[in-house]
Each structure stands twice: as C-alpha cells, then as structure tokens.
Amino acid sequence: MPVSDATKPMQHLTRAASLLALLTTTVSAQPLPEPLQALQERGASIGESFAAPGELTGYTVSFQNQTLTAYVTAEGTHVLVGTLLDGEGTNLSQPVIDAAANAARPEQEWLALAEAHYIVDGEPNAPRVVYAITDPNCPFCHRFYTQARDWVEAGAVQIRHVMVGVLREDSLAKSATLLAADNPSEALAEHEAAFDQGGVTPLDALPETATNAVRANNQLMNELGIRGTPSVFYRNDEGEIGLVRGLPQGSQMTAVMGSSLD
C-alpha cells in the first residue's frame, strides 16, 4: 500500500542439485555474522544462505555488478570469498551463482510488496511497475533514483520505493518522515535533490503510524531475505519476477526498466 569414472559425473550433478535446492532455503532472521557485516559495509549485498561442505555456511554476495559466493566458517569469525572446489576440481560455487542469477522469485513476494508501505515515483498509469527497497541514507539507492529519471519522466516506469530504516541510526526516522509527508512523492524528490546535504530532516514528533509502517517494511525486508539496499524487484517480459540485489547496472538496468531508452 502507498504511504538464488562413469559415476563421477552423476556425483557432481547430485552435489550441484543439492546446492541448487539449498539455495532456496529461507534466510534466517538471525543477524549476519560479523565478517559478512564487514562486507556489507564495503558495499556488498548479502543474499541467500546455503549449506556447504566442511561445516561452512555459504552466502551469495552481490558486489560491483558481480554475483559471488562467500563461505563463513563454523565459528562465524571468518569469511572466504571465491570459488569452492572439491577434491576432484569440481566447481561447487558456479551452480549456486547460476541459480541466483536466473531464479525467478515467487509470486507471493510481489503480492507482499504490493501490500507494503511505499512511495510512488512515476505516473499512476505507467505500463511497468518496479519495487525498490530503499533506505534514505543509502548512496546506491540515491544513484538508482537518479539513474531511473529517464524512464520515470517518460512515463514508462513507476517505481514504488518500499522505505526501510536499516543503515544508520536516523534511517527509520527519515523514512517515517517521508511516509508521513502530505505528499510523499514530492517529499522523496526533495530528499533526493538534497541527498548530498543529508536529505530530509526527521520530524521532531514522528507519527506512530509512520514509524510502525517502516518497522513493518523492515520486517518484510527480512522475510524476503534481503540484506542490502537497494534491492529491486521487477517483472520480465515473460511475467517472471526478477530481483537485482544492489544497484542495477548495464544490462541489469535494462532488464529492470524493460527498455534501454536509447
């Protein structure tokens, strides 16, 4: 609402299939291990978790327009980023990366986003709708807002910013202030225009309905397994739901927006 010998090939396929199945496991609500939090602070978006050999826990990681795998040690104190090979040299990471890149998201996620508390950016009758999980202090969210102007102003795309408060201490207050504005769309535009100067100033007295709305969005973000902002949901030409973790770039942006507008 507005406001992921002959028997050896089969063994390899079995391992890959297991990893692909495990990729769909729901992400735990527990906080990320500290090494992954450190990656997140450096601009990485942390995706789904999956079981891995040797008591490792694997995660998909989106960083600088690349999908990688990261493996956290059993005690949760260290993380290895890169390709995991078995004793026969089989790449156990690539099936996970391929699945993360190509897997369609379930319809229930789109329906949940449609019921979230979002700010509309774009024409009400735009032929394409995109949901963006947005933190008001996120520089990559700001870049996505800026880079989307051509599509939005052409009336081709409406972006629904699901406002969360996760990055900084005042993120929740800023999101609540934007949602509580008389005209949230105009308030968001003003915030983005002044982003380099700190953006919106939080209200001294935040309406409880607005703060509860942001908290509900935070909970939805967690339930969707989203660890970073922006996270952008869209429908492709076949109607399948896609997700870009982090700032869409190049062909990702074209896929999200449905055209290149060249």
Q: Do domains 7-102 and 107-257 have the same CATH topology?
A: no
C-alpha to C-alpha distance for 174 and 135, rounded to whole angstroms: 9
Residue spans of the domains in the chain: they are 7-102, 107-257
7-102 to CATH, choices 3.10.450.70, 2.60.40.10, 3.40.309.10, 1.10.1660.10: 3.10.450.70
Helix ranges (H only) for the chain are 7-23, 34-41, 94-102, 107-114, 139-147, 149-153, 171-180, 184-193, 208-223, 251-257
Q: Angle, nearest 10°, between helix axes 171-180 and 184-193?
A: 140
pTM above 0.85, yes or no: no
User: What's the topology of domain 107-257?
Assistant: Glutaredoxin (3.40.30)
First to last CA, the chain: 32
Please give the Cα distance from 72 to 57 (Å, whole number): 5
| Ranges assigned E (strand) in 29-127 | 45-51, 57-63, 66-72, 79-81, 118-121
- Beta bridge partner(s), residue 67: 62
Distance CA 149, CA 142 (A): 11
Residue given tokens 């509309």 in the structure block: 120
pLDDT (tens place) for every residue of the chain, 262 residues total: 665 333 333 333 334 334 444 433 333 346 889 999 998 888 787 887 888 999 999 998 877 657 789 999 999 999 999 999 999 999 998 888 777 666 678 899 999 999 999 999 999 999 999 999 999 999 999 999 999 999 999 999 999 999 999 999 999 999 999 999 999 999 999 999 999 999 999 999 999 999 999 999 999 998 888 878 999 999 998 899 999 888 998 989 999 999 876 6
